Amino acid sequence: MITLTDNAVAAVKTALSSASEQAEGFRIMVQTGGCAGFKYIMGLESVSRQGDVITETDGIKLFVDADSQPHVAGMTVDFVTGLDSSGFVFDNPNARDKCGCGKSFS
């Protein structure tokens, strides 16, 4: 469903290992909002929720809720480090358009 690049896996593992509370994995959600219509919400997750699809990549559990699944199917998540900023980057084949920041899509 979602592919994590090696850089994304490393970033998530770093976040999991330095979390103040125990986390089981990483959640990716889509919510209405952002400048293009939908926005990505990401964070550490300690439990699954009803309707979640749970996949595992390199020992990382990835949680996706039922409403978000159609929006993120086939997506690749990368983590990039640049001079101006660092963060997750989404290559989403379901996005018709995206805003300049890359965190919002339609």
- Mean pLDDT (the chain) is 90
- Residue 50 predicted with pLDDT over 90: yes
What does DSSP say about strands 25-33 and 86-91: parallel, antiparallel, or unpaired?
A: unpaired
Q: What is the mean pLDDT of residues 64-81?
A: 95
pTM of the model: 0.87
Strands across the sheet containing 37-45? 53-57, 60-64, 25-33, 37-45, 104-105
Task: Convert the pLDDT of each residue in 9-23 to its tens digit.
Answer: 999 999 999 999 889
